[in-house]
Structure 1
Amino acid sequence: MIRPTKPEDAAALIAVANTIGFQPNELEDLAKMLADYLGGNTDSDPFWITDDDDEDGPVGVAYCEPERMTDQTWNLQLIAIRPDRQGQGRGGKLLCYVEETLKARGGRMLLVETLASFDRTRAFYAKCGYEEEACIRDFYTAGADKIVFRKVLNGH
């Protein structure tokens, strides 16, 4: 069941991010952002979504926030499915839920960033209707390019 994130999901969602390779400093940042969101301590309008398996608890997470100084452009900062639950269509359903939530809020465009070396991730976004919009060479470190994907949600 895909639903808005609740405070009791926090530890499990950070654990999901850990299972897909987030580094300790990144996990700390995520935990702080999630705590701020759940505590209402944010100056933007981000949202967190949980993919909750009734038997197993949270197995997936998505985090999205508006891009400052734009007209309804959003960034998908995190989408993750626990590795033992990948390949079941859960990621696509979670991404679709994010898109529908944004459309209902008047969201115009969703941007997603990933590493150029993440072939499987890039194929996932392409399959979900995202177009590769930009490549920023050496963004993360020397030789680690950032790929930006985009999808128009509500065309104007």
Structure 2
Amino acid sequence: MGAPEEHIDYKILVAGEGDELAGYVCFGPTPMTEATWDLYWIASTPAFRGKGAGSRLLLAMEEDVRRRGGMQVRIETSSMGEYAATRAFYDRHAYAEASRLPDFYKPGDDLVTLYKKI
């Protein structure tokens, strides 16, 4: 028997087309907050990249968070160049940089926190 829904730390939504996996998003309520949620991971398979799978997953996650009484979503990512496309994706969906901790992951690699009221 699983844990009651209100005690689940992580939620996962999966997108697919036919028998193919398009991607997934993993998110959950932020501990010790009333209405903040964290987006932990979002990924799409190479065959579905650039075809809207990530956007559909992000929007579905936001709708699920709203339905559960969530009011904002927080995302942590890296400042490194390899993550520029990731940061641009979130920017297109109105996630703004809320904070930056220098050298968090390693020298020259800041922790970038993105935020959106939903």
Q: Output aligned runs, 1:1-156, within 5 Å.
A: 40=3, 43-56=7-20, 58-117=21-80, 118-153=83-118
For 1:96 and 1:50, the matched residues in 2 are separated by 12
Gaps of 5+ in 2: none
Native 8 Å contact 2:22 2:53 kept in 1? no
The structure that is strand-richer by fraction is 2
Question: Displacement of 1:90 after TM fit?
Answer: 1.0
Q: CA RMSD in A?
A: 2.0
For 2:8 and 2:57, the matched residues in 1 are separated by 22
Question: Displacement of 1:44 after TM fit?
Answer: 4.0
For 2:16 and 2:51, the matched residues in 1 are separated by 14
Aligned pair count reads 115
Aligned to 1:13: none
For 1:55 and 1:47, the matched residues in 2 are separated by 22
Gaps of 5+ in 1: 1-38
The structure that is helix-richer by fraction is 1
Question: Displacement of 1:45 after TM fit?
Answer: 4.0
Native 8 Å contact 2:72 2:115 kept in 1? yes
Aligned to 1:21: none
Question: Displacement of 1:142 after TM fit?
Answer: 2.0
In the TM superposition, structure 1's runs of 4+ consecutive aligned residues that sit over 2 Å from their partners are 39-46
For 1:151 and 1:98, the matched residues in 2 are separated by 13
Question: Secondary structure at 1:70's aligned position in 2?
Answer: coil
1:38-64 deviations in Å (ceiling 9; x for gaps):
x549954421100112132x2201000
Q: Provide the TM-score with structure 1 as the length reference.
A: 0.68
For 1:145 and 1:41, the matched residues in 2 are separated by 37
Aligned to 1:4: none
For 2:31 and 2:19, the matched residues in 1 are separated by 38
Question: Secondary structure at 2:86's aligned position in 1?
Answer: helix
Letter aligned with residue 61 of structure 1: Y
Q: Percent identity?
A: 32
